[in-house]
Amino acid sequence: MTIYLDGKLVPESEARVSVFDHGLLYGDGVFEGIRSYNGRVFLLREHIARLYRSAQAIGLVIPMSQEEMCRAVITTCAANDCRNGYIRLVVTRGVGNLGLNPYQCPKAGVFIIAATIQLYPPEFYEKGLKIITVGTVRNHPEAVNPNIKSLNYLNNIMAKIEAVNSGVQEAVMLNHLGYVAEATGDNIFVVRGRALLTPPSWCGCLIGITRNAVMKIAADNGFEVRESVLTRYDLYTADEVFLTGTAAELVPVVEIDKRAIGSGVPGPATRQLMRLFHACTQQPENGDKIV
Ligand code: PXG
């Protein structure tokens, strides 16, 4: 595998970061997870724009322009023939001393991995996920705001541990007020009749690129799409529930906290949106060509 590291393509064996990098020492940095479909990087510009917003929010200067970053992603995909894959783009605070102060780190580090990912085994896309709500609360908006896709995912990892320890694949996290925020690496949607509901940003979710794409697709196909404050009651009594994310794509949820959702199998709206989302990933206008 060939890795993009600080402006150069290097073999995987040479792609190393320092133990003094604050990305490692403090989780100080930001990242994106991006997919390629059919030789194009899906919604690349949206991902890069969000990366730069995350960096801006933590006062991190990325030492290249958004256009240069887009080129770097495409070049890394081309070098790895990553035509249907998963791209992990990481910007760290860079090398500094053993203190928190980020201003001691002269230059941000940038690396890009173009590989593959499978978040859930294929049968879950057919049968749906069983999930639980967990005690670990989503970040308060005035702590590390959930819109910052930071290298500090420990809060979400704690929630994931609760889910896995309970024998399920995924956790729903609530915010500090008790409202539904999102899953550990995916946004959450509720179907109620022809309405499609998902929590607003202030409830503690990342504004997912897949979330936005699905909201647009649904609106274009006759759903009434709304951001809505959701409680666990709304999940338990939904007709359908599904999760969205770059890695997960669109995955049905059939059980939450031992309550069957709707009929207990992936519902028609979810299956329709899965088909429509797949078609959307294949449309040339939604991606930058890998050359
Ligand atoms: N919420 C959180 C907390 C996320 O980290 C999403 C929602 C979905 O956002 P997008 O923009 O991808 O629709 C994410 C994204 C992984 C992995 O390796 C996680 C994400 C994306 C890609 C890979 O587990 N999370």
**From its phi and psi, is residue 163 left (phi > 0), alpha (psi between -120 and 50) or beta?**
alpha
- The number of distinct structural domains making up the chain is 2
The reported pLDDT for the residue numbered 119 is 80
Domain boundary among 117, 148, 163: 117
DSSP designation for 14: G
Q: Are 87 and 48 in contact (CB under 8 A)?
A: no
> Which of 186, 207, 280 most suits a substitution to test ligand 1, by most atoms within 8 Å of the C-beta?
186
* Ligand 1 in reach of 198 Cβ (< 6 A): no
**189 and 141 in one domain?**
yes
Domain boundary among 75, 90, 117: 117
| Helices marked H in the chain | 22-26, 44-57, 66-79, 123-127, 154-165, 209-220, 232-236, 268-281
| SS3 at position 13 | helix
The reported pLDDT for the residue numbered 120 is 86
Per-residue pLDDT of the chain (291 residues; tens, 9 = 90+): 999 999 999 999 999 999 999 999 999 999 999 999 999 999 999 999 999 999 999 999 999 999 999 999 999 999 999 999 999 999 999 999 999 999 999 999 999 999 999 888 899 999 999 999 999 999 999 999 999 999 999 999 999 999 999 999 999 999 999 999 999 999 999 999 999 999 999 999 999 999 999 999 999 999 999 999 999 999 999 999 999 999 999 999 999 999 999 999 999 999 999 999 999 999 999 999 999
* Ligand 1 in reach of 195 Cβ (< 6 A): no
> Which of 138, 160, 174, 206 most suits a substitution to test ligand 1, by most atoms within 8 Å of the C-beta?
206
**104 and 132 in one domain?**
no
In a domain, 289, yes or no: no
In a domain, 291, yes or no: no
* Ligand 1 in reach of 199 Cβ (< 6 A): no
24 phi and psi, to 5 degrees? -85, -45
The reported pLDDT for the residue numbered 19 is 98
The domain in which residue 237 lies consists of: 122-281
- The CA 187 to ligand 1 mean position distance, Å, reads 8
**176 and 84 in one domain?**
no
* Ligand 1 in reach of 187 Cβ (< 6 A): yes
